[in-house]
Structure 1
Amino acid sequence: MQIVFMGSPEFAVTILDALVAAGHEVVVAYCQPPRPAGRGKGERPTPVQLRAEALGIAVRHPRTLRDGEEQARFAALGADVAVVAAYGLILPPPILEAPRLGCINVHASLLPRWRGAAPIERAILAGDAVTGVTIMQMDEGLDTGPMLLKRELPIDGKNTGQATDELAKLGSGALLDWLADPTPPQPQPEDGATYAAKIAKAEARIDWRRSAVEIERQVRAFAPAPGAWFEVGGERIKLLAAEFADGGGTAGHVLDEALTIAAGDGAIRPLLVQRAGRSPMTPAELLRGFPIPIGKMLL
């Protein structure tokens, strides 16, 4: 089967690799254009571009698909199907209709729950014990197309990095199963639909007035990136892993030498932290070079 692949991050790389390993012909890979990154602000290609080039697959990264000339180039590929996984651009009708079997999306949620840009983070923040992947026939709406196949994944206790890796593998298997034995589409119910809005930078800042349950979810939702964080003496400290702890007190106060911190309800004990420009470390390693005394109020 001739496939156009459309994706950008590491999640999509896993799916691209699975298609190639299964013997499908990926004629072109579409992805987001390289963007400035790092201290030098040099342009960095997406993970999909790097992987596609290593596989010898032609890469295209238009900034829009609404241009008629770009749509004609896409249609000229004559693909059987387009597989989309976290691509990052809206597909207009001429693109959706060009492949013989249309455009199939690998979406990291159990639709109709968590339509939108950040389904994994939103599922963790909401305390969902189970999420999954949905193979979906794309339409003009935002993740509103008919469903082709769904698979579940328990995520209780997992962070976004762990869940993303597992969902990518789960989605790859589901996609290959559907391509080998297509099942008829089932319309999405509107009942239970939720929207997974893009993560705003301000959401990663920890508010110690919130409950320990909410803060622990926040830590997992933003690990490994962008990292939930708090401030000490004007320096930002990322909290990459944490657990619930006994104790309590005024929210934000350091309770003991293990850097246990009082929340609005309960307490949080950090397990992995990171200073700006440093590697992740344990709280004990942090405190050896960056003392935070008992009773300190954290912001």
Structure 2
Amino acid sequence: MALSVVFMGTPAFSVPTLAALVEAGHRVSAVYTQPPRKAGRRGLKLTPSPAQLEAERLGLPVRSPLNFKDPAEVEAFAALEADVAVVVAYGLLLPQALLDAPRFGCLNGHGSLLPRWRGAAPIQRAIEAGDAATGMMVMRMEAGLDTGPVALTAETEIGPSETAGDLQERLSRLSAELMVEALAKLEAGTLTFEDQAAIEARTGRAPLYAKKIDKAETPVDWAADAKAVAGRINGFSPAPGAWTTMPFSGAPERVKLLRAVAVDGDAGGDFASPAPGTTLDDHLTVACGTGAVRLLELQRAGGKKVAATELLRGTPIAAGTVLGGG
């Protein structure tokens, strides 16, 4: 017997889970998503969220409240009489009355290995911190921020030059698989949960908060360790994007750095003497405070993302060039 589900999600990351729940035969009575936002070059066009577009493609009713401060919105949600709410990157805090409304509560697909990286940017912060692995978890939501007990976990390694965009795409597929499994177990009465305190004791993963990325963090600090520089570049890609300045035609130009990898001291060039931010070769290997990074993908202002080799074909940057940044 299929479950009655309310789905709550907004970005592209949430779409595979919505599609998988429908494909699994569950009855999605409503899709809650953030209201359409202004987009386009002049910000004049209202653009529906990816979750709304998917809901419309599937013929599902869409609701887009600004928040749940109005009691009428809470009553409308409760009136759906759902068995469970599935929440994946929705973007709004849910009051306790909403958490309690579905028969089995609210299940959240969260992109980290809790209790590490609770909060708004778990995927980005895991890469920035240089974590070797991360994962998807299905947890039961409660009043605290990502503090609820965990039912299912799928762990995955993080590659040395993997970006947040790469990892989000992979985790979104894991989210779909894991949530379908969770609802199947919920139907069968076999879904069990483990408190995060027990997970911490068992794994040694201490709670960490994944704060939202601030634009003030985006200039690259070349004086940092190479792994930290590469982690920030990859963790902030594709958005908001870490950046530095490069001298094109003699004038410094801001360039987004979208993929990089830390390289060893014996990878070529003199890693001890150049000032941080100095290119060590003509392939965009850049000295850091300790070690160096090789830039792999970049984007000039108004241009498209390109591989470093493609950018250098039209605008060579010689060894000894000093890049700007934070």
Structure 2 distance, partners of 1:95, 1:195, is 24
For residue 240 of structure 1, give the secondary structure of its aligned residue in structure 2.
Answer: strand
Q: 2:102 aligns with which of 81, 99, 103?
A: 99
Alignment of 1:124-139 (within 5 A): 124-139=127-142
Alpha-carbon deviations, 1:111-153, whole Å to 9, x = none? 1111101111111111111111111111111011111112211
Query: Counterpart in 2 of 1:180?
Result: 184
Is the counterpart of residue 119 in structure 1 residue 105 in structure 2? no
Q: Which moved more, 1:115-124 or 1:286-295?
A: 286-295
Give the Å deviation of 1:291.
Answer: 4.7
Structure 2 distance, partners of 1:291, 1:150, is 46
Aligned residues: 299
Structure 2 distance, partners of 1:77, 1:5, is 12
Structure 1 distance, partners of 2:102, 2:32, is 14
Structure 1 distance, partners of 2:155, 2:67, is 33
Alpha-carbon deviations, 1:206-243, whole Å to 9, x = none? 11111111111112112222222101234211111223
Assess if the C-alpha contact under 8 Å between 1:246 and 1:267 holds in 2. Answer: no
Structure 2 distance, partners of 1:184, 1:260, is 49
Unaligned runs of 5+ in 1: none
Structure 1 distance, partners of 2:89, 2:221, is 30
Unaligned runs of 5+ in 2: 201-205
Alignment of 1:1-299 (within 5 A): 1-41=3-43, 42-157=45-160, 158-182=162-186, 183-189=191-197, 191=200, 192-232=206-246, 233-243=251-261, 244=263, 245-247=267-269, 248=271, 249-299=274-324
Assess if the C-alpha contact under 8 Å between 2:119 and 2:146 holds in 1. Answer: yes
Paired letter, 2:230: E
Assess if the C-alpha contact under 8 Å between 1:246 and 1:266 holds in 2. Answer: no
Paired letter, 1:108: G
Structure 2 distance, partners of 1:290, 1:253, is 17
Structure 2 distance, partners of 1:217, 1:54, is 37
Q: Which moved more, 1:128-137 or 1:260-269?
A: 260-269
For residue 244 of structure 2, give the secondary structure of its aligned residue in structure 1.
Answer: strand
Give the Å deviation of 1:289.
Answer: 4.0
Structure 2 distance, partners of 1:284, 1:22, is 44
CA RMSD after TM alignment: 1.6
What is the TM-score of this pair, normalised by structure 2? 0.87
Describe the shift of the 1:151–1:259 C-alpha distance in structure 2 as closer, same or farther (beyond 3 A).
Answer: closer
State the 4+ residue runs in structure 1 displaced beyond 6 angstroms.
none
Assess if the C-alpha contact under 8 Å between 2:282 and 2:316 holds in 1. Answer: no
What is the TM-score of this pair, normalised by structure 1? 0.95
Structure 2 distance, partners of 1:86, 1:213, is 28
Structure 2 distance, partners of 1:195, 1:114, is 5
